[in-house]
Chains A and B, each alone.
Chain A
């Protein structure tokens, strides 16, 4: 199990002088799956980027084990905190094994050689993501779901105890979305990795999250278990949408059904 703590305090950040995060406070629960949801432009991606050092905050800090991540040497940080960005780029013709090996970058210095330990990490990552059979295939030839698994494998090979993912299921078919989320859950259960991700789909978020964070206006609007956070009030406040929350018969988690103007026979008019 991991024992690293990741904390955001009074975090403000943005682009072009426009502030998107406005004094956000959040402690990431260690060893759990935290899912961030919110309307477009509420700052969820900005938060994840700031959390992973891609964006320098204008105010406040991101503290990893009590130390500001912007003062931690990049390579050292990258051994604890991994990130899978929304649109990673695979160089043309690169093979799966090669791409996943790139995850070992923070563990290598200028003259250090490739060791058995590196091979073990890559092997472990390929096995965990069930991409070993693809090892020699070029990444460009893979399907969307396979490719996303390969990118997750790269982040796994990095062997970080915290993994941040920015909308890992976008552009994927529903079956591949489930596949990726199951994989991340396996990872959390088997390795104890702390997973933090932004998701678009509220119902998938509620199903897979240990802790659900709803963001609005650059701040944390609600924080807690899916049952605590996914309520009709929250959906109304954050998304401006009337809804009904029911129990997902498969997982027992809350499930949101949106209320529109049409075809609402079930609730009477």
Chain B
């Protein structure tokens, strides 16, 4: 067949433009993360000059600010970024795989599962540290497989999975509520962590499991970017394109749940970040490329900004989950309206 090269050039150009737009969007998001990170470190109830922040970060002792920045603000910001990345990436992976924004881990019960396990381990078994994270990851995975198994009938219908997940989530929520109600010595603040998520009392060593989850599971997810993109065309089409659908799904579930649960064990289920990151990222990058990285960055920004608003900008202090929850609630409803009206997806 003869190929006129003019049309090929046009196609190449079209593709390059899209790739460039995608990279620009990614760059902007990354820059935004850095800027917000900087602001949260330097501007709080007291203002620290950016120069001093840099000096603290490089390990130089700065009298009066080393503690505020190094011990209070830095761990908070680092934890916010890491958990936001985890929630955003894990959430969007689910949404892409099941082709439905409502299929996010915080709606289909995975965060509730991890949260219930963490609360159980801490309140009833009196445990702490990495064991709690491990348990939470295990429970999150268990719930994910349970929901997946329960919605399996001639393959998994995305919407059936969501409804089953909502049911499972309701049960787990009531378990959490019960365990918290039997622990009268607990302060409301601590209970809030497990009901909506917060980064209060963050310490740098908590970042380690998150980092680990991010590298291992995030790596697996990113290596599957192309398969995930093909899944957006429907299971049948993806399969026709040579994607091993069930294998890809298993890998995606395991890695996404791993990240979500690891983050939940540290910060609690920060409300709606996993749910919001994907759709927001989709608005930003449009359809210029994969949503995985943009959604992860949006997740980080959401948690950083949410925590900053809750701590600094409002008259009384709120944990980050309350802010993201209050922001996410109307968006969730808006999304339902839109999905119903257009039958559209992410």
Interface size on A, residues (CB 8 A): 55
Pick the interface stretch among A31-39, A106-114, A238-246: A106-114
Give the residue of A86, A92, A102 whose beta carbon is less than 8 angstroms from that of B230: A102
* A105 near B287: Cβ-Cβ < 8 Å: no
Closest residue on chain A to residue B286 by CB atoms: A93
Task: Indicate if A101 sits at the interface (CB-CB under 8 A).
Answer: yes
Pick the contact of B240: A78, A95, A101, A122 (CB < 8 A). Answer: A78
Contacts of A83 in B (CB 8 A): 236-237, 239-240
CB–CB B233/A75 < 8 A: no
Contacts of A74 in B (CB 8 A): 239, 242-244
Contact residues in A for B243 (Cβ distance below 8 Å): 74, 105
Q: With A and B bound together, what is the CA distance between A123 and B13 in angstroms?
A: 12
Residue in B closest to A105 when the chains form the complex, CB atoms: B241
Among A75, A106, A136, the residue within 8 A (CB) of B14 is: A136
Interface residues of A in 50-87 (CB under 8 A from B): 52-54, 74-79, 81-87
CA distance A15 to B12 in the complex (A): 44
Return the contact of B8 from the options A77, A99, A119, A158 (Cβ within 8 A): A119
Contact of A53 among B1, B7, B239 (CB under 8 A): B239
A54 touches B239 (CB 8 A): yes
Residue of A nearest to B283 (CB): A93
Interface residues on B, range: 20 to 34
Determine the chain A residues whose CB is within 8 A of the CB of B286 once the complex forms.
93
Q: Find chain B residues with CB under 8 A from A77 CB.
A: 242
Q: How far is the CB of A22 from chain B (nearest CB, A)?
A: 19
A73-B346 Cα distance, complex, nearest whole Å: 31
A135 within 8 A of B: yes
Q: Mark B7-37, 1 if CB is under 8 A from A, else 0.
A: 1101110110010000000000000000000
A97 touches B242 (CB 8 A): no
A120:B223 contact, CB within 8 angstroms: no
Report the Cα distance A89→B286, complex, angstroms: 17
Contact between B287 and A75 (Cβ–Cβ < 8 Å)? no
Residue on B with the closest CB to A78? Answer: B242
A268 within 8 A of B: no
Chain B residue contacts of A114, Cβ below 8 A: 15
Q: Which are the 7 A-B pairs with shortest beta-carbon distances?
A: A78-B242, A85-B236, A106-B242, A83-B240, A75-B242, A89-B234, A105-B241
Q: List, sorted by A's number, 12 A–B pairs whose CB atoms are closer than 8 Å.
A: A15-B154, A16-B153, A49-B236, A74-B242, A75-B242, A78-B242, A84-B240, A94-B287, A101-B15, A105-B243, A106-B242, A126-B7
- Given A86-B236, A102-B241, 10 extra CB contacts under 8 A: A16-B154, A53-B239, A89-B232, A93-B287, A98-B18, A99-B233, A102-B233, A105-B242, A114-B15, A119-B11
